[in-house]
Structure 1
Amino acid sequence: MSENDGPVPGPPKRDDRGKTGRQGETAAAEYLLKCGYTILHRNWRCRFGELDIIALQGGELVFVEVRTRKSGGRFGTAAESVDARKQRQVRTIAAFYLQTFRLHGKPVRFDVVAITVDWRSAAVVELKHIEAAF
């Protein structure tokens, strides 16, 4: 048996989740702007993690979690992926944001924008905005 025996590795698999996520966040931001929201921050990071979009609507501060999935995926819908663990994480980061910018007492809301893109063309095929999702 020689060292050349065995399976020949194929081309590396591309992981384009980052690209898909950025596409979804851009689509969500454009949608929110069209709906009259003022976007304060995108991808705001701290030691606890990241908030996708922080916006104002009326007098309310809105923390928006954006989830993007390709159509025909095996792991459920984009909205279903915002589980209890993710909700806790977003709340923790939001509390730190409020403390950092001294915004205690400001009315807040947690929204989800769930986006589905076509797995072939990468075009947005569905955008669902769930206000006060959690």
Structure 2
Amino acid sequence: MKKGKYFEDLACQYLTSLGYEILIRNFHCRYGEIDIVALEGETLVFVEVKGTHTGLEPAERIDYKKLSKIYMCIDEFLKEYPARECRVDAIIIKGNQIEHLRNISL
């Protein structure tokens, strides 16, 4: 199993345990990919998942360039599926620990 899929599976389990509804995994567009699109109540949540990786800490790999691509993907997504409220979260997985960063921005 690929590490990325493993971390995304853990993130989906975590979000589901908090009451989120997972709508789409791996939304692709010409700008890149959104790992998870979920619904928390009435809020559409776009989730970037990062796990332990050699070199940089997982959260450090969500830089300005990565966030810019995520926001362009969100614009594409919202053209097809308009939403009133949305936000971007990150799920950072290091070993057995899951850190949920809510409402990250550029």
Instruction: Give 2:5's aligned amino acid.
Output: R
Shift of 1:49: 1.4
The structure richer in strand per residue is: 2
Distance 1:126 1:86 in 2: 23
Partner of 1:129: 100
Q: Which stretches of structure 1, 4 residues or more, deviate above 6 A after TM superposition?
A: none
Higher relative contact order, structure no. (Cα contacts within 8 Å, ≥ 6 residues apart): 2
Note the alpha carbon deviations across 1:3-24, whole angstroms, 9 max, x for none: xxxxxxxxxxxxxxx7111110
When normalised by structure 1's length, the TM-score is 0.74
The aligned length equals 105
The structure richer in helix per residue is: 2
Say what the alpha-carbon RMSD is for the aligned residues: 1.3
Shift of 1:57: 0.5
Partner of 1:28: 11
1:114 aligns with 2:76: no
When normalised by structure 2's length, the TM-score is 0.92
Give the gaps of 5 or more residues in structure 2: none
Partner of 2:35: 52
